[in-house]
Structure formats: structure tokens, C-alpha cells
Structure 1
Amino acid sequence: MKSIELFAGAGGLGIGLHLAGFKPVQVVEWDRFCCDTIRENKNRNINAVKSWPLIEGDIKSVDFKNFAGKIDLVSGGPPCQPFSLGGKHQAYDDSRDMFPQAIRTVRETQPKAFIFENVKGLTRNTFRNYFEYIKLQLEHPNLVCNINEDWTDHLKRLEKHHTSGIRTDLHYNVVTRLVNAANYGVPQKRERVFFVGFRDDLGVEWSFPEETHSQDALIWSQINDGIYWDRHNVTKDSRVINLRSKQRAVKLEQKPTTLPWLTIRDAIRGLPDPEKNADKNNGFSDHRFQPGAKTYPGHTGSPLDEPAKTLKAGVHGVPGGENMVAFPDGSVRYFTVRESARLQTFPDNYLFHGSWGETMRQLGNAVPVELANVVGLNVANILKATA
């Protein structure tokens, strides 16, 4: 199935969708370092990206009309800074908001479906009207904002058109969902909002994939039956379990049917300790020790035996203070690039271009490959059934 990947970043969403069966005919990304990462892996013949037709540049200058009616899926993660909980919160007044370009791509290509991902901050009450504005534009991409028309006036026109019941033009049925990646087998508590739409004429009925993993299942495996610790050969006197988990375990009457959340210990299993040979990669690419990690109020790292907290891109290339692992003995250290890649479920043979801070920025902005694959497989199966 043919796709177009927008705002590709380091490739997380695109790789996951590739694994789900989508083959991009065009990949667009403006950031030089992200493009260097993709090109490096293309040159190394990494299967997921080796055939990607990459365009490095401003999406505003890319014309997609030649692909009208020929595309199964448009996907991407429009830059999140205007809505990020760590950003300046300029929202709809921020020129970095790339949703208008994502909507233009849908309008020009008329794909069978689209998948867009963005930060949790977009769902904040402060931005609620703009969230609805984005959704309505995706549902009615041909109802374009007029020159000098305020977005709130455009929203009113969209609302009137939407409630009129008239569906003679291009129309999509859109589902939005705020999801926690940990509930889908990603070893990271990463909350993101998805916009998934299917073209109205396909007659698709769709709901977001069911969650497969849970915190309760992890607690059960750590406290109720101890299978988690046995798998990692951790002795009883080395096990650290927080009070909240112990209190929650008492309330569990039977073993959950879901799989346990994956933890940092699960994710980095098999990777050697980077600090013991700090000047080497320890047999794994991008696995170098980065000194200087320390805790301070609000930045305490991620406990080893829980999913990681959300990896953050940081500001001016400096990763956030939460990009650390906290060991049972109270010590902390920064995640290596390879460990961070595993937390984002990238394959071990995928390399990242740039300094440690730059690569961590790419990873902090990425979509977990496994989450993209879960959503992509579900959408792919629906599209195959309509063919």
C-alpha cells in the first residue's frame, strides 16, 4: 500500500508503518540532522528505510497534487512545539504549527486514510477549541480558511457545514484518542494523541486497537507471583517496589488478562553496562556512557523496574532531566542513545546521526515504532478489507 510520510523526524512512525505494510512514495522532513539519520540508514541498506524517497526541505514548498487518488495513507507527526507541555504554549498563534500543511496534503492527495500523531498537550482545556478545529478541518479538508479569515470564524463555518449533514465533497470520518504507549507494549509511559481518519466513501467502521499491556499485570508479575524477578534473576533482597504498587497489588483479586507493562530492565536487557567501558560502544552502536547525570526537584529519573517516563527532546539540544535511569541503590545515569532507542522500540541496527544531545532530541520527538506498528496494522487490515 502506498503512503506519504510527513514530518518524518528520525523515522519512528514511518518505520512502524513500513512494518505494517505501507510503502512511502514520498517522505518529507525539514530538519537536517533527522534527514542525515534517515540517509545514513538508507546508505546502510536498512530494510525499513532503504527505499524511502526523502525530500529535505520545507513542506510548504512541496506540491502533492500529482498523487491525488493514488495514495492509501498519509501519516506524520506535525511539529508539536506550539502545544507541548514543555513549550511556550503559543498554540494557534505559533508559526511552527504544521497541522495546516498536514490538512493541505490530505486535501491534495485524497488518501483512503490518514494517521497523525501529536503531543498530549494538544488535548489541554486551554487548546480544546483548537483541537476541535483541527479535527473538523481533517473531516472537511476542502473547506479551506479564507485569506485574512480568523481561525475562530473558520471554525464557525466548519461547525455549520458539519452539522448541515451535507457530504457531497471530500469527507473523512475521524477518530481521536489519547493513548499511553506503555499500554501497547512500549517500555515507556508516553502519552500521545492520535487522529485517524477514513475517507467517507469507503464505508469503514473503526475503533482504536484494544490495549494489550497494563500496569496491573506488571504489579501482579512483580508482587503476586514474582515471575518478573525470576525472569531477570533478581534476588528478593535486591527487589525495590514502591508503596503505591504494593497497595494496588492488595486490591488485585485475580491475574489480569493483559500482558505486563514492559520496564526499563526489560528494554535494556542484554546491553552491557556503558559506564564500565565509558570510552567504548560495548559492542553496540550508539551505546556510550554520558557523564553528568544528577537528580533535582522534579527530575528524579525513571525507576529501573517500571516503564520509563516520557523521553523528552529538551531545549536547545539538551535532553530533559528525566532522560535518566534510576537504579535500586539510588544512583542515576543518563540513558545512552541505544537505550533510548530501545525505549522508543527502534531496531538495534538503526543508527542516529549527530552528537549525544542531538540524537536524544531526535529520539525525544520520535513516535515509538511499536505503537506506530500496532495502529498501522489495524488500519492496513481495514484498508485491505475495502479493496
Structure 2
Amino acid sequence: MAELQEESKKDRTGVELFAGAGGLAMAVHRAGFRPLLFNEFAKRACETLEANGAKRLPDGEKPTRAPGPKDKVPLVAGDVQELDMDYLKGEVDVLAGGPPCQPFSLGGVAKGDEDKRNMFPQMFKAVRQIQPKAVICENVRGLLRPSFKDYFQYILRELELPFEERAEGADWTQHDAYLQTRLQEQKQLKPRLEDLKKRYQVIMTPVNAADYGVPQIRNRVIIVAFRRDLDIDVELFKNLVKPTHSEAALIRSMKDGGSYWERHSEVPGHVREWVKARLPETLPIDDGLLPWHTLRDAITGIGNNKPLPEVPDEWLDRTEHLLGGFTDHIGWPGARIYDGHTPNELDRPAKTVKAGVHGVPGGESVMLLDELVADKAAQGGRRYKYRYMTVRETARVMTFPDGWELKGPRGEKMRQLGNAVPVVLGEVFAKAVAAVLDEAEDRRK
């Protein structure tokens, strides 16, 4: 597959920084934005992008012009701090990216602004260089922790006024005080059109990916900014990114006679009873939304996806058997359940796919199966069998298409997926950005 080589449906353009395995890049492209540039530092992620249609530039070579509609997307592999994007000024509709999240992750060291891995300043530098019409930025929910509250508000203010650069020697608190003063001053003045092109209207949305049709509990923050001279309809945008799925709807679909079990008629009766026994007794109010997708939905196939075959015990051997013709559907031995690492359940959305814990990427990716096995230590002498999820199953949980090729050993593939933006989630926000840009342009005609 070469999804990144397909022609965009609209003559809109995008740039992707911190592209990783290409989840957000794919989402933006599907929304009609033709990619002009990818940048990524990680070696294996670059190989993944290249395998799916990007053209990696020779080391040290920098692009000097935007590619045409028929050209492959140029991939600059390396440090974003060395990237010069002045040549793209005025040619980019959307700048997208998820700056490395380790400084703000619950699983990271949580140093925030002091952490050298904080790449938000590079996003602001890119905004200054290319002045995109819109910015899409995804990051971990850790940004909303009380300990980061002040710094997160500073990030939002920086995106509002990206051209107000921090003075040499000033720390972030001093720059934040300056930005607040500038924002207050601007409220008193009637801005010129040229000034509005250097200011942005920022919308921050906390999300759970499951609420948008992703078969995974994944709490994140999505920041979207629009250039103020475009006069975007913010309320229209907010309406377009409202949740579409809910846990309440999933519960309703699992109650007696529910549509969930009709769709999964192959599920053994003891599994159904086990799941139903833990549902709330009172039926939730019908909120009019669609049910959350579950891990079972992902494996049996959402949309046009075909069911993934079960991995037999004898094939838990790290070998590619091309089960059903699917790549990366490889059994992995050694799965175990221990305190603090509870398994995924088939009839719930998957747990958050992580990039790695203590150097073991994907180490928590264990799932319970439908089969009961004897276990003297278990209550009643039996427990549900379990195994590691395959890379392909994990990719489905991240809503990557089956044809998307991931490069590197298993651990690196899992790391790329854990760092990615679920394609379906990114697509909701990218399509909303495209829609409000269209509306604003039509209004000005």
C-alpha cells in the first residue's frame, strides 16, 4: 500500500512534524490535506514512513520547494531543530504534530519545561516560519495535571502569540507575564490585517479516543489553533468535534437482547454471562450516541476490516506465519498477568497502548481470551486463558489500516504505535479543520 502517495481530494496542504509512524499524518491526508513535508527523528519510524510512500531525503539535504501533487512526500529525517521551513511560508493550510510527550506523561519524569525533550518551542518556531492557517497538536492528558496547569496555560498563550519570542535569558514565567500583558494590550486596539496573520485563536479539547470510535481508552489533549485573519466559526468547529460514541451506549447494547451480542454471536455463553454480570443493574439513559467499540470489535473487524484469525498456541513462537494473509499477526510467548498490569478484556475498549514501560515496549499488551483453562490458584479452579496481543491487533486498536507497513523489530513497532495518534481520532479533528476553513472561505466570497 502507498496511502501517502494518493492524490488529496482537495487542494489543501499540510506539514507534519514529529510524524512518528504516521497516524496523524494519515488522518490529515484523509481529511483532504496534501502533505508537503514530514519530519521525524526516530530511525525506525522514518523507515515506516518511507515504506508507506514518503521519500526520504539524503542526510544533510534540505528541501527548498514544496512538492507538486504528483510528487512523493519529502521526509527529512533528523532533529527538527535543524529544519528550516521558510520556503513553505504562505503555502501551508495545516501544521500538525504531537511534540514528544515524555516531559508531561504520567509515565515520564514529569519535568515539564525543564526537560530537554519538550518540543513545543519547535512547533512555535514552525508556526513563525510558515504561518499556517491552522495548527493541530496532540499530546498526553498529563498536560492538565495541577502541577503543569500554569505551564500549560503558557503553552496556549504562546500559540496565541507565536511571533512574540522569548527574550534571551528569560525563563518561561517571565515570558508568560509578557504574553499576558500583550494579550491585554491587544484587547484595547483594533488590529490590522497583517497583525491578525500573526495571531491565533486556540481551542483546547480533552478527549478520550473511545468517544470517537477508537477501540481503546486513550485520554489525550488536542489543541487546535486558527489564524485570526481567517475569522473561523469556532462554534461550528466545536460542534464538529463532539463525541460520537459512549460507554452508556455500549452498556445498553450488551444488555439482554442487545445488538452487541447479535453482532458477536460466536461468543461462548459463559463469556456473555461473565460480562453481563458486571454491567450496572440500571440501564443508562439513551444518549443518542453510538456504542464504544471494543477490542473484540477491532479484532473481528470494524468497517471493511476482515476478522483476524486466532493465534494457536503452537504459533506463539515469534514467527511470521501470515495467518489469514495478515502481516505482523505474530504470536509472542511469555505473557503473564501481575500486579499493576491487568489484562485487556475483549468486550471492553483496549487499555491505552503505551510506547513502553521500563524499557519493555508493549509489555502490558496482554489480553484475555474466551477459553477457560484449569488453574488451581484461581477462584473456582479455572481462569480465562491469555496471551500477548499481536502487533496487528495493536495496530487495529490504534485504527491503522491493515495495509500500513510498520518497520523494525516487534518492540520498535509497538513503540511506534504507542507514540502514535489513533488515525480515526485524528481524522475527526482534521476533517473539522477542513470544514471550518471551507466555511470561512465560502463566507468571504
Which of the five TM-score ranges fits, normalised by the shorter chain?
Answer: over 0.9
The answer to whether the aligner puts 1:306 opposite 2:348 as a matched pair is: yes
Matches within 5 A, 1:183-202: 183-202=211-230
Aligned-residue offset at 1:274: 2.0
Aligned-residue offset at 1:317: 4.7
Partner secondary structure for residue 92 of structure 2: coil
- 204 and 224 in structure 1: CA distance in 2 versus 1, 3 angstrom threshold: farther
Partner secondary structure for residue 255 of structure 2: helix
Query: Which residue type is aligned with residue 218 of structure 1?
Result: L
Aligned residues: 380
What is residue 134 of structure 2 aligned with on the other side? 113
**Residue in structure 1 matching 2:322, options 268, 272, 281:** 281
Partner secondary structure for residue 89 of structure 1: coil
The answer to whether the aligner puts 1:70 opposite 2:81 as a matched pair is: no
Matches within 5 A, 1:324-363: 324-328=366-370, 329=372, 330-363=384-417
Partner secondary structure for residue 135 of structure 1: helix
Could you tell which deviates more after superposition, 207-216 or 108-117? 207-216
Contact 2:41 2:79 in 1 (8 A): yes
User: Cα deviation per residue 1:316-354 (whole Å; 9 max; x = unaligned)?
Assistant: 651254322123542221111100000000000111111
Partner secondary structure for residue 116 of structure 1: strand
The answer to whether the aligner puts 1:204 opposite 2:232 as a matched pair is: yes
Structure 1 distance, partners of 2:332, 2:419, is 20
Matches within 5 A, 1:126-205: 126-164=147-185, 165=187, 166=189, 167-168=191-192, 169=195, 170-205=198-233
Structure 2 distance, partners of 1:28, 1:349, is 22
Partner secondary structure for residue 138 of structure 2: strand
What is residue 2 of structure 1 aligned with on the other side? 13
Contact 1:317 1:357 in 2 (8 A): no
Contact 1:82 1:89 in 2 (8 A): yes
**Residue in structure 1 matching 2:271, options 225, 235, 238:** 238
Structure 1 distance, partners of 2:133, 2:288, is 34
- 4 and 111 in structure 1: CA distance in 2 versus 1, 3 angstrom threshold: same
Aligned-residue offset at 1:293: 1.2
Contact 1:303 1:326 in 2 (8 A): yes
The answer to whether the aligner puts 1:83 opposite 2:94 as a matched pair is: no
The answer to whether the aligner puts 1:260 opposite 2:314 as a matched pair is: no
Aligned-residue offset at 1:227: 1.5
- 50 and 16 in structure 1: CA distance in 2 versus 1, 3 angstrom threshold: farther
Partner secondary structure for residue 341 of structure 1: helix
The answer to whether the aligner puts 1:216 opposite 2:248 as a matched pair is: yes
Structure 1 distance, partners of 2:81, 2:358, is 24
TM-score (norm 1): 0.94
Structure 2 distance, partners of 1:65, 1:258, is 44
Query: Which residue type is aligned with residue 112 of structure 2?
Result: A
Structure 2 distance, partners of 1:246, 1:63, is 55
**Residue in structure 2 matching 1:381, options 407, 428, 435:** 435
Contact 2:54 2:74 in 1 (8 A): no
User: Cα deviation per residue 1:106-164 (whole Å; 9 max; x = unaligned)?
Assistant: 11111111100001111111101110011000000011001110110001001111122
Which runs of no fewer than 5 residues in structure 2 stay unpaired?
A: 1-11, 56-69, 301-306, 373-383
Structure 2 distance, partners of 1:90, 1:373, is 31
Pair member with larger Rg: 2
Higher RCO, 1 vs 2 (CA within 8 Å, ≥6 residues apart): 1
Query: Which residue type is aligned with residue 219 of structure 2?
Result: E
Contact 1:6 1:28 in 2 (8 A): yes
- 127 and 242 in structure 1: CA distance in 2 versus 1, 3 angstrom threshold: farther
Query: Which residue type is aligned with residue 400 of structure 2?
Result: F
User: Cα deviation per residue 1:181-223 (whole Å; 9 max; x = unaligned)?
Assistant: 0000000010110110111011112243111100011101111
Query: Which residue type is aligned with residue 182 of structure 1?
Result: A
Structure 2 distance, partners of 1:50, 1:267, is 34
Contact 1:29 1:55 in 2 (8 A): yes
Could you tell which deviates more after superposition, 312-321 or 106-115? 312-321
Could you tell which deviates more after superposition, 307-316 or 77-86? 307-316
Contact 2:346 2:369 in 1 (8 A): yes
User: Cα deviation per residue 1:93-118 (whole Å; 9 max; x = unaligned)?
Assistant: 00100000001101111111110000
What is residue 17 of structure 1 aligned with on the other side? 28
Partner secondary structure for residue 415 of structure 2: helix
Query: Which residue type is aligned with residue 25 of structure 2?
Result: G
Structure 2 distance, partners of 1:12, 1:252, is 33
Contact 1:274 1:281 in 2 (8 A): no
Contact 1:229 1:235 in 2 (8 A): no
Could you tell which deviates more after superposition, 132-141 or 308-317? 308-317
Structure 2 distance, partners of 1:108, 1:81, is 26
Contact 2:255 2:276 in 1 (8 A): no
- 275 and 148 in structure 1: CA distance in 2 versus 1, 3 angstrom threshold: farther
Contact 1:300 1:321 in 2 (8 A): no
- 43 and 73 in structure 1: CA distance in 2 versus 1, 3 angstrom threshold: closer
Q: Quick one: percent identity of the two aligned structures?
A: 45
